[in-house]
Amino acid sequence: NAGVMQNPRHLVRRRGQEARLRCSPMKGHSHVYWYRQLPEEGLKFMVYLQKENIIDESGMPKERFSAEFPKEGPSILRIQQVVRGDSAAYFCASSGGQANQPQHFGDGTRLSIL
Amino acid sequence: RKEVEQDPGPFNVPEGATVAFNCTYSNSASQSFFWYRQDCRKEPKLLMSVYSSGNEDGRFTAQLNRASQYISLLIRDSKLSDSATYLCVVNPTNTGFQKLVFGTGTRLLVSP
Q: Does A38 touch chain B (CB under 8 A)?
A: no
With contact defined as beta carbons under 8 Å apart, do B7 and B71 qualify? no
Q: pLDDT grade, residue B96 (50/70/90)?
A: low
With contact defined as beta carbons under 8 Å apart, do A53 and A69 qualify? yes
With contact defined as beta carbons under 8 Å apart, do B26 and B65 qualify? no
Q: CA–CA separation, B73 vs B35, rounded Å? A: 8
Helices marked H in A13-110 — which ranges? Answer: none
Given this model, what pLDDT does residue B31 score? Answer: 83
Per this entry, what is the length of chain A?
114
Q: What percent of chain B has pLDDT over 70?
A: 96
pLDDT tens-place string over residues B37-67: 999 879 999 999 998 888 999 999 999 999 9
Residues 27-56 of B with CB under 8 A from A: 31-32, 34, 41-46, 49
Q: CA–CA separation, B40 vs B109, rounded Å? A: 12
Q: CA–CA separation, A84 vs A114, rounded Å? A: 7
Nearest CA in chain A to B2: A42
